[in-house]
Amino acid sequence: MALFRAALGAAREGNIEQLDLLQQQLGDDYLMQGYLDFHRLRAALPELPPAAVSDFMTRYRDLPLANAMERIALGRYGLRHDWASLRALRDRPPATPELACFYWRAVHDASPQRAYEAIPSLWLSGASRPDACDPLFAAARQAGVIDDDLIWQRLLLVFRQGNPGLMRYLNGLQSETEAASGQHLRQLYNTPALILSLAPTTPRYADLAAAALHRWAHLDTPAALAGLQQLRAAQPDLAATISQPAERRIAWYSVIRDLPENRSWVDSWLREHGDEELLEQRARRAVIEQRWRDVLAWTERLPAARQASARWQYWQARAHQQTGHPAQAEAAYRNAAAARSFWGFAASDQLRQPYTFNAAPAPANEPLPPLPALQRVAMLVAVDEPALARDEWLALLRREPDHLAALAEYALQQGWPALAVDTALHAGAHDVLRWRFPQAFREQFLAAASEAGLDPYLLMAVARRESAFHSHATSPVGARGLMQVMPGTARQIAGWLDEPAPATGELYDPLLSIRLGSTYLTDLLNRYQGNRLLALAAYNAGPQRVDEWLNATTMPFDVWIESIPYYETREYVQAVLAYRVLLEHLHTPQDARRQRLVSAAERHPGYHIALLEEP
């Protein structure tokens, strides 16, 4: 184990002399040889011939590194303009834009016409394309493949993506006869109301009108509605392809922004069009306003399957309860309480009955055959390479679809809870709760909770939601580790503790992540007088936003959750509280459980700006 760790370190650093010495001790048929050969070959690129890359991919086809080696080689060959080697290695386009452009440049080198057939799929994007694409696009423009129509199509995509700089560049590529249309489009991006002054005979008017209304709806929704009505009055035959998408977008922003001046119009539009997603948003708005008859009216317009969900059964029950129909309320609560979810648990609380867990036993499984990948995973876990271990595991799941149950059990036996969660998700085993909610880092969570005076299952639930117990997880915005702590937040917490700020790489350490996360959650709970709903919302979205979401209107706890503007945060609060119930149910003796979804203090007296005052 120590030899492999040292050899892997030497391989990554490109210290081939040290690697050779260590490999002599490990032997030629060493189990982890592929990981060492990977770095050896990568260091030799792009001089390495494509046959050597292909040989690596064949020899180590079961390793997730096989595809990684190909991607690296394609990129290195492309940067060196070694088109012959690239064509020899790959006979179909890769998925990533940069490598795809290298691939088609290699094809263009031998067969320009074939490469030009791929241009529309590469070119038509609302985002900037990689620099690797520029020479291919220049050749396609010179050959007339990228013409005014293709440039215009991309301009429309870029307009909707919101990239004025790229619009300006594309406008500069247009011919003299088309440049005016591009200029109109750029003007409409900043001032969409200018569409009212353009004559319908203006070239590309239909596209300009559709784009202007799309943008206008976002910038000034009431004005966009008035503008659309003005356009339709002046042009009764305004194409449905323009007005219908504009109407829906205006309706969407009218509902989610709660624009009273558009309310009458949007309600009429919804009754006529019955757009499922917007009907749900309109029902949610009625919940937030606590207009209970409207809640019933709008939820009853939802499709039957959506209406039957625990969420909307719960809100129908609340509406029946508030409008004096206890029998209907109880029936709807019972429907909701049959689900294992936040709203199902909330309905059970209303009925004062136990929660429904709908847990299924693990399916029968056959003993696992000898699988070298399991040994490799064990080795990678032992040398603290969790990301590589997970890659191995996910590749194994794809190769062994008939052994998923056995693999999930094996992961639990080996103490790899995050890999058990991965297996449950891959197998679609949503009801096998022991796979989906295993005990992970239990002793560490118990110790941190004891030190901070926290509920350990709340901490575990946060980690389960944040990282699915993967200690090496990294979010798109840069949060890291088990508890997904941002580097800036970690520095802030270190200041509170009078400790040196941790390096970014240290945030992947489970012990440190749990300690930082528990300290931060404790601070948020103190800020919000022990209220977990507010503290969890702040953990996800930041305390400043949560402070803004509390106002002079008093809301019941459930209405406040539904009122959270951010979908991600709304779902986060629900998930963590439900996960906490599940984890305690699975891992605590019945007589020791405190599994209330929401405490009495979190229910009453209501959610109001006064919660921000000092107790």
The catalytic site residues sit at 466
| Interatomic CA distance for residues 316 and 312, integer angstroms | 6
Which sign, positive or negative, has the C-alpha torsion 325, 326, 327, 331?
positive
Cβ atoms within 10 Å, residue 500? 9
Query: Do residues 568 and 587 lie in contact, with contact meaning Cβ atoms separated by under 8 Å?
Result: no
| Interatomic CA distance for residues 487 and 476, integer angstroms | 13
CA-CA-CA-CA dihedral for 578, 582, 584, 585, to nearest 10: 130
Query: Do residues 430 and 358 lie in contact, with contact meaning Cβ atoms separated by under 8 Å?
Result: no
What does each C-alpha distance from 501 to 26, 215, 472, 475, 515 come to in angstroms? 39, 44, 19, 20, 13
Give residues with Cβ within 8 angstroms of 296, minimum separation 6: 316, 319, 320, 323
Query: Do residues 39 and 9 lie in contact, with contact meaning Cβ atoms separated by under 8 Å?
Result: no
Q: Give the chain's end-to-end CA distance (angstroms, integer).
A: 55
What does each C-alpha distance from 38 to 35, 373, 387 come to in angstroms? 5, 16, 16
Alpha helices per DSSP H over 81-219: 83-89, 97-110, 112-116, 119-123, 134-142, 148-161, 164-173, 176-190, 205-219
| Interatomic CA distance for residues 265 and 278, integer angstroms | 14
Helix (H) or strand (E) holding 467: helix 456-467
R_g (Cα) of the chain, nearest Å: 29
